Amino acid sequence: MRIGQKLIHLESVDSTNNYAANLVKQGRLTSGTVILADEQVSGRGQRGTEWHAEPGKNLTFSLFVDEVNLSVNNQFILSQIIAVGIHDFLEKQGLNASIKWPNDVYINDKKIAGILIENQLSSSRPMRSIVGIGLNVNQCEFVDFNATSIQLETGVFHPLLDTLYSLADALEHSFHAVFSENFDINSRYMQLLYQYQQSCRYSDEKGEFMGEIVGISSIGKLQVLKSEEGIQEYSFKEIVFL
């Protein structure tokens, strides 16, 4: 899959994920196509949140992933491929990022990138996915958000299209490593995992507690050691990092 060889560049759109989903419905997107927007007026985040990014200063785009052998059972691999790819791209900029489960990218306790993967499942064909990525590039002020950007971290302005193409290279490399070189993405993901094996504060349906992330299950659930109850497994909406 060549990522970004086909690029649809929009000035303004509600959400690049919505735009991509419409094109997929019409059968008009090929795998690897990137939909990039200078501005999203209704950018979407995980858990039904909004994604805010100052227009013209950040990367907000969606990547269409088709013809990759993924199913409902191994869909977490896609999250891992994308998160590790973003990490590797940031490493090339001299930045040391970690991955907050399931797929946020952090630098020193501040969020630099978010990922929203929306899968299209059908019994008659392999899974297709729209991978939405928001990467903070040149934005230097974040009101009410614990966030950072490449410029804030490096002190240097980064041209957006160059940044997009370097990121696309890193993502392509991450896909290739997994599907052509049998790269152990799971071990790599665990090495980069935020708060892994540290005692930290979380909350679940029973309230707040101190726990320690001890692993990830094969379907991507977070395994947390909760002192009295032993190891608990959480899906995305069931645990909050405090």
Query: Where along the sequence are the contacts to ligand BTN (CB under 6 A)?
Result: 15-17, 40, 43-46, 49, 51, 60-62, 104, 114-116, 132-134
We find the least distance from the C-beta atom of residue 45 to ligand BTN, in angstroms, to be: 3
Distance CA 176, CA 159 (A): 26
Which residue lies nearer to ligand BTN by CB, 68 or 115?
115
Tell me which residue has its CB nearest to ligand BTN. Answer: 114
Which residue lies nearer to ligand BTN by CB, 61 or 209?
61
We find the least distance from the C-beta atom of residue 123 to ligand BTN, in angstroms, to be: 27
Among 60, 57, 21, CA closest to 43: 60
We find the least distance from the C-beta atom of residue 59 to ligand BTN, in angstroms, to be: 8
Distance CA 51, CA 21 (A): 17
Which residue lies nearer to ligand BTN by CB, 177 or 193?
193
**CA 196 to mean position of chain CA atoms:** 18
We find the least distance from the C-beta atom of residue 132 to ligand BTN, in angstroms, to be: 3
Q: What share of the chain is helix, strand, coil (3-state, %, to 5)?
A: 30, 35, 35
Who contacts 75 (Cβ-Cβ below 8 Å, separation ≥6)? Answer: 117, 119, 127, 129, 220
- CA dist list (Å): 87 to 66, 115, 150: 23, 12, 12
Which residue lies nearer to ligand BTN by CB, 21 or 200?
21
Which residue lies nearer to ligand BTN by CB, 37 or 177?
37
Q: For the chain, first and last CA: distance in Å?
A: 38
Who contacts 27 (Cβ-Cβ below 8 Å, separation ≥6)? Answer: none
We find the least distance from the C-beta atom of residue 51 to ligand BTN, in angstroms, to be: 4
Which residue lies nearer to ligand BTN by CB, 60 or 232?
60
We find the least distance from the C-beta atom of residue 114 to ligand BTN, in angstroms, to be: 2
